[in-house]
Amino acid sequence: MTGHWEFTYQDNVILENIKKFKGEFLAQNIKVKDEAIFEGVPVFDEDSGHAFKPYTIKNVGGVKMAIIGQSFPYTPIANPKRFIPNWTFGINDAELQTLVNEIRENEKPPVVVLLSHNGMDVDIKMASKVTGIDAIMGGHTHDGVPKPMVIRNSGGKTLVTNAGSNGKFLAVLDFKVK
């Protein structure tokens, strides 16, 4: 999973809740501020500054799949900054592109999916700019998108869909990997 309303709690509560979660919490676009790292604030990767694991590799139906997390980028605007003073959020297209390139080169998955909480409009724009992502599966826009949109970019195309909000819909996307 990736995050949105989890950030209405204070950072220490968020970290405790994630420890209890029986899954993986992924967020490539949340970083710990440099000064906070020096003060000993918990960080997933001190070198990159990622507050949380940015991606995971799963074997799905015998196919290696990379899943990257993209938490709600406008969290400090939507929630009180005092709850999350040590973290930065953002869309971070350039950093995402670097991460996708590294995953493609080092992990060599035939499928890369972005699990997003950007919202459909931001996901469409991101798909037009960031190459190497096969599909963006989102969930912030309140309307479900029944069929993925095909978004062209300089590296090919990316499928973009959104499952709506509040568990209204379950997104399923079948991949045919050749």
Per residue in 67-107, pLDDT tens? Answer: 999 999 999 888 888 889 999 999 999 999 999 999 999 99
The C-alpha atoms of residue 114 and residue 128 are separated, in whole angstroms, by: 14
pLDDT tens digits, 11-25: 889 999 999 999 999
Which residue in 114, 140, 15 sits closest to 7, CA to CA? 15
Residue 7: Cβ-neighbour burial (10 angstroms; 0-12, 13-18, 19+):
buried
Joined tokens for residue 116: 């997003």
Specify the amino acid at residue 128: S
Q: What is the pTM of this model?
A: 0.95
Res. 27: pLDDT tops 90 = yes
Q: Is the per-residue pLDDT at 42 higher than 80?
A: yes
pLDDT score of 173 = 87
Measure Cα distances from 5 to 73, 75, 80, 117, 125 in Å.
12, 9, 12, 10, 23
* Tokens describing residue 123: 């996901």
**CB distance 95 to 27 below 8 Å:** no
Q: What pLDDT does 14 receive? A: 92
Give yes or no for a contact between 130 and 96, defined as CB atoms under 8 angstroms apart.
Answer: yes
Q: How confident is the model at residue 5 (pLDDT cuts 50, 70, 90)?
A: confident
Please tell me the distance from the alpha carbon of residue 33 to that of residue 86, in angstroms, as a whole number: 6
What is the per-residue pLDDT across 118-152, written as a single tens digit (0 to 9) for each? 999 999 999 999 999 999 999 888 878 889 999 99
